[in-house]
Chain A
């Protein structure tokens, strides 16, 4: 069968709408998951550096277990394995409100929370101990030291590796197609299914991802330069 190129399928018919819908869903699931990952990452990353062992152990367990299992497995686990164990009321709500979106978001957020945790931990560890000691000498409690000094500095230090992982989060959102989240890659396949034009459909999806990723990377490089702390260079996480 000869392959006839037909680029117009991308904008005639429903393809354009599908791709746009997919892009919006990709962004939605990624942004929400990112927030979850940031919160989990900061809390558990900090927990791994405190002097109290039980907190360190809990955080380490979370990080090591979630980080070492493939993301696809987590996707199936959260979508197929978890809902049946939830109370009936929660299940009914989920199933009427796009359970697959929430399962995908959770899988993405919890997985990347574990990875962010490592990055934050590395950032915190690279802060000179003297900062911590000076703060304690001034009379701040451990919690205050972390909240007011350590974490804010660490966040500025880790912009490059954190950006890298955030882009990985965006790219990993594509795995949600396996649980039928109609995100961008799913829609590219949908276009291809209905128009039989695989190359055009995949190109459209690819170009959108490229623009997103390279665009965000460019913006973050500028952000990093603005927020860099002179004198403190973060090692790549």
Chain B
């Protein structure tokens, strides 16, 4: 969250904490982030599925909308129905450009009727902020608080048990996609949201940048006794892909629409006149030509971002893998990619070109992993 001085990657307030833990650090979209800690990606993945994983997501962006027209401004920007939110309720949605392409995928939090928070992807903070200002800058106050806000994600079946001793906030009654403001965690002022990006139950804890490291240490101590671990970007990717959660920059970008991306459930065409609505309505009426398909590899091979996808019938290249990995919990190699709609149906076969070797894959519907 330091300002970039040159091409040096930016660091989060937890950078020193990661080094002390022995993390392997990489430059990820301009941010120096832990890719894994000494126990490795598979162990970190497993810890999150069976106990608790904690993630530094301080690099993510927080943009506040305040004023009597805040709700109207947010609705102009996003495809989901903002009017359904109430104080303390959040929702997943996307912001589109006028042609229906996705500017970013994000979570909108309604703090009060005249105060909304939008959490955006780290790599998109500047782009989103500019887009928001361009579209609705005169409607309400829009403030980018990314540099002063810390965010730690605490995910897994034991997340509530691990977090409970550190806070008096009523965690048990906090439902999914609900959040609490003005609470304390480990004696530090914080907001707690029941959200995440792993397919597990869990929390995301917002705090002041200065409190991020002490809070991280307290959470680390709290989860250690329950088998919890810090988790890097490597396992964050295997966890989110098993849960079939999209990654902006891979599965979503300015050229893909939410309808193509399988995010039709966050597009409410009657929610209001949001940016991109007309284009999405046209696409909805005309029908899709391509869709983001999830697939499991049938042969030995791991699909990776950018690998060509071929139609087994014609041999023609029909798309590219947008995300692919080992699915440690599902025990299969899995991936996502845009393919023609006829090939996007469950049961369709695809050939993934794994560095010259065609490996068969089968299209499946829904998440690869669902928590029990």
Q: Do A and B interact with each other, yes or no?
A: no
